[in-house]
Amino acid sequence: MQKVAIIGAGAAGLCALRHVLNTPGLTPIIWEKSNVVGGTWVYSDQIDKDDYGLPVHSSMYKSLKTNLPKEVMAFPDFPFKAGNDSFIHHTEVRSYLDEYAEHYHLMEHIKFEHQVERVNPVTPGSSTTEWEISVKDLKTDVCTTIICQDIIVANGHYSVPKTPSLRNIEQFSGTMQHSHQYREPDQYKGKRVAVLGAAASGLDIALELTTFAEKVFLCHNLPVTIPSELPSNLLQVSGITALKDGTKDVFVLKDGSEIQANALLYCTGYEFTFPFLSEECGVHVVEQQVRPLYRHLIHCNYPSMAFIGIPFQICPFPFFDVQVRFLLASVTAAIKLPSTELMLEHMRQSRQEAQDSGIAPRHLHRMGSLQWAYLDQLADDALTERLKPAVRMLYNHVHRVRKLTVTTYKNKRYQILFEIDSFKELS
């Protein structure tokens, strides 16, 4: 049997495991460093180290609700339970992943509390290499090594904070925190808080803080301000560049204006990190791009190594499912991948097209509206089923509504009508 290693039992890893188990001739071996499935959806009060002294993985905060309706979040063959809210609490997503794992009998295959320490190509430079994988049992501290023919990396990319360098920031007298460590708003009661970054977590956290803080400055460099009614104590301002010379609480903004704050919360995203991959694996992160990947997924030089879920601003669980189905079609030789040279050329061409379109290098993996054509092409090339059009329709609808009603859009309820490729709003 062809052994397929899977690193991580979050949503992407579970999806990979489910499909590998369903593919004749393949045997999965999967490791998860925590004692439960769910990855980033597993909430923890811990913000620094876990019980084994390892960095806490999850960036989940206590009140978080999804910013996508559950109707589009589900794996294609496993819907969320019908009824109730569409925008659900993170505990419901974790329960869903538990149910997914139980339904497909995945739990018995997962080696919990095992950390992958090192991955090496057995034959460096060979496109057909196998993989030597060293794993530590965290309960016993015993390390073992195994050889696998294929490897799927599904370790997530929302756990290692990315923090910009701000001039004079060491002189700041207030509190500083990254959203990775944020759990509850109480500590910001009565404060003037600068929230740096206005992507999904930055906006959600800023809105939550308005019920406790005296003033919240949402600091961002979006091309336009958020066109929605906002709480009266939330002010959109330009991004922060520095702490003003000779001060301890005055920030200089990109447009030259200034704000005074006694708390700074970085909502500035996360790094792609693969600390277990040896240098011989030839994986590099350059300007927030994971290289060299063919179609954001398969290692160009070592096509037996793949990375599920690298793109962001996506409909995640369905996205993972299509990626995994395409990958396994290549693993089983149901489809033939291009040569290494052609895959590298495809990667270079994709970078050039993005640059020509005005996309910043750090946003190469940002999908948004581009995800649908990407997923359809993967599905077609893998000779597998596309996602239902209603998923795209509802996702795009919510994207438009969210921009205009950021404080209320999560109160809406939806139903997908797959039989007519549509959806309806229930409330």
Predicted local confidence at residue 318, as pLDDT: 98
**pLDDT digits 0-9 by tens, 196-221:** 999 999 999 999 999 999 999 999 99
Domain boundary among 266, 286, 306: 266
Together in a domain, 321 and 192: no
The CATH number covering residue 261 comes to: 3.50.50.60
Q: Which domain holds residue 249?
A: 169-266
**pLDDT digits 0-9 by tens, 273-326:** 999 999 999 999 999 999 999 999 999 999 999 999 999 999 999 999 999 999
Nearest partner of 75 among 309, 293, 421, judged by Cα: 309
Predicted local confidence at residue 83, as pLDDT: 81
Two structure tokens written together for 19: 């499909």
Average pLDDT, stretch 101-125? 98
Host H or E run for residue 320: helix 316-331
Predicted local confidence at residue 1, as pLDDT: 87
Together in a domain, 229 and 296: no
Dist CA 301 CA 101 (whole Å) = 32
Together in a domain, 121 and 252: no
Taking the CA atoms of residue 131, residue 98, residue 70 and residue 20 in that order, the dihedral angle to the nearest 10 degrees is: 30
Average pLDDT, stretch 94-99? 98
pTM of the model: 0.96
Residue 161 makes CB contacts below 8 A (sequence gap 6+) with 178, 179, 180, 181, 266, 268, 270, 271
Together in a domain, 293 and 144: yes
Together in a domain, 177 and 321: no
**pLDDT band, residue 82 (cuts 50/70/90):** confident
**pLDDT digits 0-9 by tens, 54-80:** 999 999 999 999 999 999 999 999 999
**pLDDT band, residue 427 (cuts 50/70/90):** confident
Instruction: State yes or no: pLDDT of 162 exceeds 90.
Output: yes
Question: How far is the CA of 374 from the CAs of 152, 156, 319, 321, 381, in angstroms?
Answer: 20, 20, 10, 13, 11
Provide φ and ψ at 81, rounded to 5°.
-60, 140
Domain boundary among 214, 246, 266: 266
Nearest partner of 15 among 67, 83, 61, 73, judged by Cα: 73
Domain count, the chain: 2
